Structure 1
Amino acid sequence: MAPSTVSTMEHLLAQPEGKQLEFKRDISSLKPLLKALVAFANTAGGQMQPHPYRLLR
């Protein structure tokens, strides 16, 4: 990963999950992912990131 990407990921990992950030461990099934995405869009907006350990595989 590029240095800026690493620092961005480190910043995100330091944040708690909440109304604007959620980590997804399993992104293999589209329906739960889309439900979470719609929930974010219908509330305060936010970011959904793959779970950091998934990136290391």
Structure 2
Amino acid sequence: MEEIAQAYLSSTDGDAGIALRCAITDALSDLMEAARQDRENSRLISRGYVRNRRPHG
């Protein structure tokens, strides 16, 4: 964690406020991408389930 904090501080010339905003922005972006991928996976699983479903009887 310290290495990540140092990397953000270095990339912002030591400005802790900007470094924090950048870290939060990156974390939210990663979270949104993970949620998008989860929705896509759920959609694909649902579609696969419907395609492989056989009628009863």
TM-score (norm 2): 0.27
Give 1 or 2: higher helix fraction: 2
TM-score (norm 1): 0.27
Asked which structure has the greater CA Rg, the reply is 2
